[in-house]
Amino acid sequence: MVSEDLVICPARITLDAAQLAFFGGLPVAAPSVQSELGCELEQGHGGSHAALGQQVDTTMWWVQWTLSASEINPYTWCPARGELATQSEADEDCALFVGHPGRHSSVKRAWRNEAA
Ligand SMILES: [Zn+2]
Ligand SMILES: [Zn+2]
């Protein structure tokens, strides 16, 4: 039973050629990044929108954007791992980056599986 529904920000971004080239150049054996990404923060969050583009070892490359600009920045995982266990029965880790705005989220980016 879910005690609170976390509503995810509906903002989306389409990566430009340079951003796709950046992700394509990362040393990972992962599938290529989708050209369109959705914000993974809580709806109504402050600051820039953010979507995880790619993960290389312990570094996560997040695309962050506003109405006027976008950039790709490296982050590590949010340290709130396991703390969410007090909020739900499942032992879930926060799936966002350290210092993210809004509430912790263990949402596993269901939209990522749409094309899988
Ligand atoms: Zn957002
Ligand atoms: Zn968090």
Mean pLDDT for back-to-back runs of 10 residues, the chain (116 residues): 74 96 86 89 95 91 96 93 52 85 74 41
- From the CA of 77, the nearest ligand is 2
Lookup: tokens for 48:
């820039």
State the pLDDT at residue 51. 96
Q: Which ligand is nearest to the CA of 67?
A: 1
How confident is the model at residue 106, as a pLDDT?
A: 78
Question: What pLDDT score was predicted for residue 112?
Answer: 43
- Cα 97 to middle of ligand 1, angstroms: 13
Q: How many A from CA of 116 to the centre of ligand 1?
A: 23
Q: What is the pLDDT at residue 115? A: 38
pTM: 0.79
* pLDDT for res 27: 87
Residue 12: partners with Cβ closer than 8 Å, 6 or more residues away: 36, 37, 38, 39
